[in-house]
Structure 1
Amino acid sequence: MGLANATFERHDLAELDKVGAYDVITVFDAIHDQAQPARVLQNIYRALRPGGVLLMVDIKASSQLEDNVGVPLSTYLYTTSLMHCMTVSLALDGAGLGTVWGRQLATSMLADAGFTDVTVAEIESDVLNNYYIARK
C-alpha cells in the first residue's frame, strides 16, 4: 500500500499470544461469531501497546430482544444469527453469542477484557453497525 509506518497482518485472535505488539487492531463483524469471544477480546487487549486502540465494528442492536423490534433488518439479523453465527460458534462448543449480541453485552465484554475507555459511535450512513473504539 506504500505506507512506510504501517503493516497489515491477519491472525487467529483466539490463539494470538503477542504482548504489547500493536497500536491498532481492527475486527469487523466477527467477535459474535467466535467460539471463545471473551478469550479473543483478552488476547486483543494483551496484544495492544499502552494507549493502543481496538476498532470493533459490529451489528447495531440491543442485547434485549424487545428493544430490537424496530431495528432495521432485525428479522434478517435474527435469521442470520440462528442459521449461521450461532451455529458456527456452538459447533465448536462456543459461547454462541449470535449476530444480535448487542451493545450492552459488547461493552460489558470489552470491560471484562480490560478496556476502560470505550466509545460507541454511530455513522449516519451506516444503519446496521456500531463502531466500538476501545482504548487500552
Structure 2
Amino acid sequence: MAFPKSRFLGVDLCTEAFSKSQAEAARRRLDNIAFEMRDLSMVETLGQFDLVTAFDAIHDQRDPQGVLTRVRRSLRPHGVFLMQDIGGSRYLENNLDNPFAPLLYTLSLMHCTPISIAQGGPGLGTLWGVETAQEFLANAGFGQVQVHRLPHDPINAYFVASVT
C-alpha cells in the first residue's frame, strides 16, 4: 500500500459518486481511505488536513466563497489547497480566441449555472475566470496562490493555494 502512514478522505454531496471508489479501495485492501457525504458549504472542519483538492467543482457551489473559506480553515499550518478549474477569463473579450469557449459557455448555460442558481448560489459558471478564482482564494485567506497551466491540458488551470 502506498502512503501507509497517511489518511485520505473523499467527500461529495452524492453518495453514488463513491460506489466505484469504495469498491476499488476494498479490492486493494486500502484501510487508510474513507468516503463521506458532506455539503462543504455547511461543514466547519478546523486544521485537520495537510492537503485538500477540488477538481472542477468550486464554480458550481451554492456559496463558492464560503466553501473556499472553509477549505482554508480545514488546513493545518502550511497546508495546501490544489484546485483545478476552468482556465478561462471572466471577461468575454479575453475568451474570443479560445477554441473551447463556445463549449464552455454552453456547459455553463446548460449545467453549471443552473446547478448553482438552483441552490441559491451566484451562478458563476465555467468561465468565472482565473481572475475571480484568484480573488476568491485571496478573500478566503490563502497567503499565496500560484496558477499553473499544464501542456497536456489546454482547458484547465491548476491553483496551488498555501495557508502561509
* Higher Rg of the two aligned structures: 2
Percent sequence identity over aligned pairs: 45
Query: Which residue in 2 is equivalent to 1:3?
Result: 3
Q: In the alignment, which of 94, 108, 116 is matched to residue 89 of structure 1? A: 116
Contact 1:35 1:94 in 2 (8 A): yes
Q: In the alignment, which of 73, 76, 80 is matched to residue 49 of structure 1? A: 76
Are positions 1:121 and 2:148 aligned together?
yes
Name the aligned partner's letter for residue 61 of structure 1: G
Kindly state the Cα deviation for residue 5 of structure 1 after the two structures are TM-superposed. 2.4
- In the alignment, the residues of structure 2 paired with residue 6 and residue 100 of structure 1 have an alpha-carbon distance, to the nearest angstrom, of 35
Name the aligned partner's letter for residue 43 of structure 1: R
TM-score, normalising length: structure 1: 0.96
Kindly state the Cα deviation for residue 73 of structure 1 after the two structures are TM-superposed. 1.1
| Number of corresponding residues | 136
Kindly state the Cα deviation for residue 95 of structure 1 after the two structures are TM-superposed. 1.2
Note the residue ranges of structure 1 that are not aligned, 5 or more in a row: none
Higher relative contact order (CA 8 A, sep 6+): 1
Q: Once the two structures are superposed, what CA deviation does each residue of 1:94-122 show, in whole Å capped at 9, x if it has no partner?
A: 11110110000000000000012000001
SS at match of 1:3: coil
Are positions 1:79 and 2:102 aligned together?
no
Query: Any runs of at least 4 consecutive aligned residues in structure 1 with deviations exceeding 6 A, and if so which?
Result: none
Q: Once the two structures are superposed, what CA deviation does each residue of 1:30-53 show, in whole Å capped at 9, x if it has no partner?
A: 000001101100000000001000
SS at match of 1:102: helix
Q: In the alignment, which of 46, 62, 87 is matched to residue 35 of structure 1? A: 62
- In the alignment, the residues of structure 2 paired with residue 13 and residue 6 of structure 1 have an alpha-carbon distance, to the nearest angstrom, of 22
Task: Say which structure is richer in helix.
Answer: 2
TM-score, normalising length: structure 2: 0.80
Note the residue ranges of structure 2 that are not aligned, 5 or more in a row: 12-38
Kindly state the Cα deviation for residue 128 of structure 1 after the two structures are TM-superposed. 0.7
**RMSD, aligned α-carbons:** 1.0
